[in-house]
Amino acid sequence: MKFNIATIPGDGIGPEVIEESMKILKRIGEVFGHEFSFQEVLAGGVAIDKTGEPLPLETIEICKKSDAVLLGAVGGPKWDSLTGDKRPEKALLGLRGALGLYANIRPAVLHDALKNASPLRSDILGDGIDICVVRELTGGIYFGDRGRRENGKLGVEAYDTEAYSVGEVERIARTAFEIAKQRNNKVTNVDKANVLESSRLWRSVVEEVAKEYPEVTLEHMYVDNAAMQLIRRPQQFDVLVTTNMFGDILSDEASMITGSIGMLPSASLGEGTLGMYEPIHGSAPDIAGENKANPIATILSTAMMLRFSFGLEQEAKAIEDAVTKVLGKDYRTADIMSDGMKLIGTKE
């Protein structure tokens, strides 16, 4: 089959890690008989330098027409003084909005070979960690009504509003249940339904959607408890589904228990098959251009692209198995290096 991929190398180590993913796709194409074509577009700091805008219209148009978007990273100290819509990070928000990507999928997997990278004790890790956080991405308190107003004697107050509609919750819940079906048939819904009205609606809608998935077990957890359980007994989780803000916090927490930011992929999905795939790490300006960046997060994001946007499960698995194999042969980039292992660069 033939697939068109829009690539956004972006800033810092972005171009270096994207380069590695393109090599792997080329190989996958040869082995499995697919054709991947790449169209490189600008976003982030490099786009600001060339066009004055972090997200040029042309980039949006090309991404919309593609079968999937593969992104390295955007931003860096060079553009830190820019504010508002001129910030490189605005490119990400803009793209998610323009492409209707409302679900952010972040697997947190602890590879056997990297067990000692985790800050958690081995008895807590047990036979491994494999959690998938499904975060709502385009609603909630990040996009609600906000402002400032006088509050009498107490002075000025600021407010942000958390609002979720039935439709918004239904679609993110469906994404979570669909992913659970491909995994271990378990969803943990995380909310604060003992306090928040938006969480009470959220929970009831998740329960409704659950009826369409009788094979999947649903449990509910308050966010404070979930934050604790992730550290105390992470093995109990398979798929976690939650709001924009809770997901922001919990997905970072889940990734930290794996101990290696350079290893973790992500996907942003919407209604159709078009998705955007990127490593969870940033542009790492401190190591850019030094052949030190760990490309695995982007390589695993590429595997997610094959799985979710192209429906190529076998090919996705081949990439994931190759990563496990390389780690099993003791090859390590600097960020995951430990005694007795073989140090390699991005390109090896």
Give the annotated binding-site residues for NAD(+): 76-89, 282-294
Torsion of CA 31, 35, 41, 43, to 10 degrees: -50
Tell me the Ramachandran region of residue 45: left when phi exceeds 0, alpha when psi lies from -120 to 50, beta otherwise. alpha
CB under 5 to 8 A by kind: which of ligand ATP, Mg ion, none does 283 bind? ligand ATP
**Contact set with Mg ion (CB under 5 A):** 282
Under the binding rule (CB under 6 A), the answer on residue 294 touching ligand ATP is yes
Half-sphere exposure of 17 (CA within 13 A, CB side): 37
Binds 286: which of Mg ion, ligand ATP, none (CB < 5-8 Å by kind): ligand ATP
Active site residue 191: no
Residue 297 binds to ligand ATP (criterion: CB under 6 A): yes
Active-site residue, 224 included? yes
Q: Which residues pair with 77 in a beta bridge?
A: none
φ, ψ (nearest 5 deg) of residue 89 = -65, -20
286 binds ligand ATP (CB under 6 A): yes
Question: For residues 81 and 314, which CB has a smaller minimum distance to ligand ATP in the complex?
Answer: 81
Greatest alpha-carbon pair distance for the chain in Å reads: 71
108: which 2 tokens? 């947190």
Which residue in the block uniquely carries the two structure tokens 């803009």? 94
In the set 112, 145, 224, 321, the catalytic residue is 224
Residue with tokens 């180590």: 13
The two structure tokens encoding residue 306 = 């094959």
Q: Establish if 345 lies at the interface with ligand ATP (CB under 6 A).
A: no
Q: Which residue's CB comes closest to ligand ATP? A: 282
Amino acid at 200: R
Which residues are annotated as part of the binding site for Mg(2+)?
A: 224, 248, 252
Is residue 277 within 8 Å of 22, Cβ to Cβ?
A: no
335 binds, among Mg ion, ligand ATP, none (CB under 5 to 8 A by kind): ligand ATP
Partners of residue 239 on adjacent β-strands: 132, 187
- Is residue 92 part of the contact set for ligand ATP (CB under 6 A)? no
**Minimum distance from CB of 283 to ligand ATP (Å)?**
5
Q: Cα(279)–Cα(298) distance, rounded to whole angstroms?
A: 5
- C-alpha span between 327 and 331 (Å, rounded): 6
Per rule CB under 6 A, is residue 258 in the interface with ligand ATP? no
Any catalytic annotation for residue 222?
no
Contacts (CB under 6 A) with ligand ATP, residues 47-76 = 75
Tell me which of 92, 109, 284, 299 binds ligand ATP, using CB under 6 A. Answer: 284
Torsion region of 116: left, alpha or beta (phi above 0 gives left; psi -120 to 50 gives alpha): alpha
Among Mg ion, ligand ATP, none, the one that 297 touches (CB under a kind-dependent 5 to 8 A) is: ligand ATP
Instruction: Say whether 49 is catalytic.
Output: no
Strands (E), the chain: 2-10, 35-40, 68-73, 103-109, 130-136, 146-150, 156-160, 186-191, 217-222, 239-242, 265-269, 275-279, 331-332, 342-343
- Judged by beta carbon distances under 5 to 8 A according to partner kind, the member of Mg ion, ligand ATP, none in contact with residue 60 is none
What CA–CA distance (Å, rounded) separates 345 from 348?
6
Residues 315-344 that bind ligand ATP (CB under 6 A): 335
201, 287, 305, 323: which one binds ligand ATP (CB under 6 A): 287
Q: Select from 185, 282, 291, 344 the one that contacts ligand ATP (CB under 6 A).
A: 282
Q: Of these partners, ligand ATP, Mg ion, none, which one is at the site of residue 97 (CB under 5 to 8 Å by kind)? A: none
Residue 252 falls in the annotated catalytic set = yes
Residues serving a catalytic function are: 142, 192, 224, 248, 252
* Footprint on this chain of ligand ATP (rule: CB under 6 A): 13, 75, 261-262, 281-284, 286-287, 293-294, 297, 335
